Structure 1
Amino acid sequence: MDDLYELTLPRDTVFGEGSLECLGRRASKLGRSALLVIGRGSVRRSGALDKAMKLLKGSGIRVTLYEGVEPDPSIQTVDEGSKVCRRESCDLVIGLGGGSVMDAAKMMAILAKNPGSAREYQMGERAIEQPGLPYIAIPTTSGTGSEGNRVSVLTNKEERIKKSVAHPYMVPHLAIVDPSLTLSLPPKLTAMTGIDALSHAIESYVSRRAQPFTEGIGLRAIKLIGEDLPRAVEKGDDISARGSLAMASYLAGIALNAGAGAAHMLAHPLGALFGIAHGEAIALVLCEVMRRNLDYATEKFADIAMALGENTSGLSARSAAELAVDAVSRLCQRIGLTRRLRDFHLKEEDFSEILKGVEKSTSHLKETNPCPITEELLLEILKASM
């Protein structure tokens, strides 16, 4: 049925400046022994880790720290963390960090109650059958929206792919979205995570599985990012701009119920094969993907143009839609995401390997991208992004 929708929504969210203060009180309702998962040091330097530890211990919660989750977290890291979780008899998992940390932590919570390796679930060899441990997501970036969705994107080094695991059991039991935790984010990382959030909002809005709910929150996210991403990049201590981006990231993450599209089809293998940061990979291909989708979601791209502040008065729907691409291109220029594939030393001979990566990891997104996806189309996008 064309009108049959499926939504997986966040269970509980606390949003706003200073909301981290509720961590101890809220966590104590979910468990008494927490595995606290962090990355490679930024939450130490910002003071967020010390604050979180103090709040948890002040509420009588025993904390086991799992540190060192890398960008684009690996199967090995997730498997190791789940073993620590079981060994220490943790009954709660908390991810404090960016999208990589949150994705790793939510999969660790699942593996604490389900057998096997994360690889088996990623490759479809096992199905998630049991709810994981209660999981709290605390984002320190505004990009992936992992705090509001059921997806974990993991790197499989053996297969050289980035591929998602998705299940309703993976939605966080609690998301604490405190914009003040993003104030120390450097301009480049602010730009890359912001463009990732924008791509979630745009691709979900024009998705063939879009629905009224995802359309509404996706379009709102687009507007917030267009207005406040440049401000956050240029003035990182602007808490109002940081709050807008935190909300936009959260909304766009939920909008991914409708699925992503060709920009993500290509960005994942670009990251897995060539080590290109996800937000940068998105920026490399997003405008070219949008151009090829214009004729398949013309009125929606006109909506996107208006949400990004373009004056579409008196224009045809097609002309207005083209302004959406122009607006995203200018936004990328303004925030410093201007590199091309050639700047990462890619050559056209690498394209066949990228296409193989698409087939192994993101081919399911063919179902949601507006334009029919062929190898020829993907090659055309890659060539135009050189």
Structure 2
Amino acid sequence: MPTDASALRGNWNYPTAMRFGVGRLSELGETCKEVGMKNPLLVTDPGLAALPMIAEAMESCKKAGVGCGLFSDIKANPVGKNVDDGVAIYKAGGHDGVIAFGGGSGIDAAKAVAVMAHQTETVFGYLEGGRDWEEIPAHEVPPIIAIPTTSGTGSEVGRASIITDEANHVKRIVFNPKMMPSVVIADPALTVGLPKMITAATGMDALSHNLEAFCSPHFHPMAEGIAIEGIRLMKEYLPTATFEGSDLVARSQMMISSSMGATAFQRGLGGMHALAHPLGALYDAHHGMLNAILMPYVLIRNREVIADRLARLSAYLGLADPSFESFLNWVLAIREELGIPNDLSALDIDTKQSDLVGRMAIEDPSAGGNPIPLTSDDYSRLFEKAVTGDLSG
């Protein structure tokens, strides 16, 4: 295995053009010119906006003779108004491209800004009007350069954004293949300063993407192959990245696994995300932390159809006595090692809205990828188990 991060560097073209390696943020300005940007809008969250990495990004643009605006009024779970405000700034500044800079929140909001940049409707007006993504011509979606600063959502290689509809307390998916970034600059050094718990939660989010893609019943052998290696990388490197945050090899492998997870879940997600999305909307809880807590409960609920698959996976991971139980025990152990709570009550979530959670979960697009079709009542009961810490079958 690589022991020097300098060996983990390359230019790839899957699923889009990716420039991976420590220090590659410095290439931003020239990359803007390559994709035709003269005056992009850099969209990020307020926590990052004041950090040196943003100043470095804007300086790279300046050196290349590229103008660069900044928009950072984005919530941790971005809402429709954040997107609409970003579109207004984009239009007022005469911008010609979007730099999506940040974790999942910043990148999701930025991609949605790009899709809506030349539309006359608000983002939810577009969705509620029943318009199809094909109605937006490609030339109306400006180029996007994505720069991830966490290793979790993999939004930098995604064709969708998750935006919270505050009025209706639901997360909505803004889907459009044209929002796939033209170029991804993946610089693992940008993740070095992440706090331990954010590293752990975002890493578990990436694990959930790979794991649910692996367990999906849909036929997509390529995605399955990507997912199984993405899981192995998280097993090998997530603890090191969490507790030895300056380890650039571990940070690099986590960033790779994150992008792999978002590529693999073309095969589908499942019950973890079907529950995490409504819980994030209702309780404004961290998406990665929700998936981390929900993981064993959903695995146990799906056990009857995924046991053989997880036995094969645990053999690949080198676990003792490869089996469903072996994999489940590893999940429980790594959660404990990382300090992930055992149940949702640790996030001040109770069972009072279990019926609503169940109804919202069954409506979530992720529900279609669960290995076992579940009803709203099934999801309500599964949610209640995750609140009370009931790991029985």
Deviations 1:47-83 (A, max 9, x none): 1111101101111111111013211101100011011
- Cα pair 2:357 2:379 within 8 Å, conserved: no
Q: Which residue of 1 aligns with 2:281?
A: 272
Shift in Å, 1:91: 0.6
Structure 1 residues 161-172: aligned runs within 5 Å: 161-172=170-181
Structure 1 position 339, deviation (Å): 4.2
Match of 1:366 in 2: 367
The residue type paired with residue 130 of structure 1 is: P
Cα distance per residue 1:220-257 (max 9 Å; x no partner): 11000011101111111111100010000011111111
Other structure's SS at 2:381 match: helix
Give the one of 345, 348, 373 matched to 1:345.
348
1:210 CA drift (Å): 4.3
Is 1:9–1:149's contact at 8 Å kept on the other side of the alignment? no
Structure 1 position 223 matched with structure 2 position 232: yes
**2:182 match:** 173
Contact 2:362–2:374 (Cα < 8 Å) also in 1: no
Give secondary structure in 2 for the equivalent of 1:126: coil
Alpha-carbon separation, structure 1, partners of 2:285 and 2:371: 25
1:67 and 2:93 are equivalent in the alignment: no
- Deviating more after overlay: 119-128 vs 97-106: 119-128
Deviation of 1:305 (Å): 2.0
Instruction: Name 2:384's counterpart in structure 1.
Output: 383
- How far residue 89 of structure 1 moved from its aligned partner, in angstroms, is 1.2
The answer to whether the 8 A contact 2:362-2:376 is kept is no
Summarize the Cα distance change of 1:302–1:18 in structure 2 as closer, same or farther, 3 Å threshold: same
CA–CA distance in structure 1, aligned partners of residues 247 and 14 of structure 2: 29
Contact 1:207 1:368 in 2 (8 A): yes
State how far apart, in whole Å, the 1-side matches of 2:122 and 2:362 are. 22
Unpaired segments ≥5 residues, structure 2: 1-12, 389-393
- For residues 182 and 347 of structure 1, the distance between their equivalents in structure 2, rounded to whole angstroms, comes to 33
Q: How far 1:358 sits from its partner (Å)?
A: 2.2
Hey, what does 2:10 align to over in structure 1?
Answer: none
CA-CA distance at 1:166 after TM superposition: 1.7
- Give SS of 2:50's match: helix
* Worse overlay, 149-158 or 16-25: 16-25
**1:372 positional shift:** 1.5
CA contact (8 A) 1:308 1:324 kept: no
Read off the aligned partner of 1:28 and give its amino acid letter: K
In structure 1, give the amino acid aligned to 2:182: H
C-alpha RMSD of the superposition: 1.7
Aligned partner letter, 1:39: D
> Amino acid of the residue matched to residue 171 of structure 1?
M
Please give the per-residue CA displacement for 1:275-294, whole angstroms capped at 9, x wherever unaligned: 21111111221111011212
Secondary structure in 2 matching 1:95: strand
* TM-score for both structures, normalised by structure 1: 0.92
Query: Which SS does the other structure have where 1:370 is aligned?
Result: coil
The SS at the match of 2:130 is coil
The 1-side partners of 2:256 and 2:349 are apart by: 35
> C-alpha separation between the residues in 2 aligned to 1:305 and 1:43?
41
Match of 1:4 in 2: none
Contact (CA 8 Å) 2:357, 2:380: kept in 1 or not? Answer: no
1:316 matched to which residue of 2? none
Structure 2 letter corresponding to 1:349:
K
Note the 1:1-386 alignment, pairs <5 A: 10-30=15-35, 31-42=37-48, 44-45=50-51, 47-123=52-128, 125-128=130-133, 129-131=136-138, 132-312=141-321, 320-360=323-363, 362=364, 364-385=365-386, 386=388
SS of the residue corresponding to residue 28 of structure 1 reads helix
2-structure distance, mates of 1:321, 1:57: 54
Q: Distance in 1 between matches of 2:213 and 2:327?
A: 15
Contact 1:114 1:130 in 2 (8 A): no
Q: Tell me if structure 2 keeps the 8 A contact 1:183–1:239.
A: yes
C-alpha distance after superposition, 1:5-55 (max 9, x if no partner): xxx96321101111212211111122101100111123533x111110110
Q: For residues 255 and 349 of structure 2, what CA distance do their matches in structure 1 show?
A: 33
Q: Please tell me whether the aligned partners of residues 145 and 251 of structure 1 are also in contact (alpha carbons under 8 angstroms).
A: yes
Instruction: Give the C-alpha shift of residue 378 in structure 1.
Output: 1.3
Q: 1:209 to 1:121 in 2, by over 3 A?
A: farther
Q: Which letter does structure 2 place at the counterpart of 1:35?
A: L
1:348 partner SS? coil
Identity across the alignment (%): 32
Q: Are 1:214 and 1:255, in contact at CA under 8 Å, matched by a contact in 2?
A: yes
Structure 2 counterpart of 1:231, which letter?
A: T
Q: 1:15 to 1:124 in 2, by over 3 A?
A: farther
Is the contact between residue 355 and residue 377 of structure 2 (CA under 8 Å) also seen in structure 1? no
The TM-score normalised by the length of structure 2 is 0.90
Gap runs ≥5 in structure 1: 1-7, 314-319
Deviation at 1:167, TM superposition (A): 1.9
Look up the equivalent residue of 1:357 and give its one-letter code. M
User: Could you report, residue by residue, the CA deviation over 1:72-100 in whole angstroms, capped at 9, with x for unpaired residues?
Assistant: 10110001101111111111100111110
How far apart, CA to CA, are the structure 2 residues paired with 1:165 and 1:75? 11
Equivalent residue letter for 1:335: L
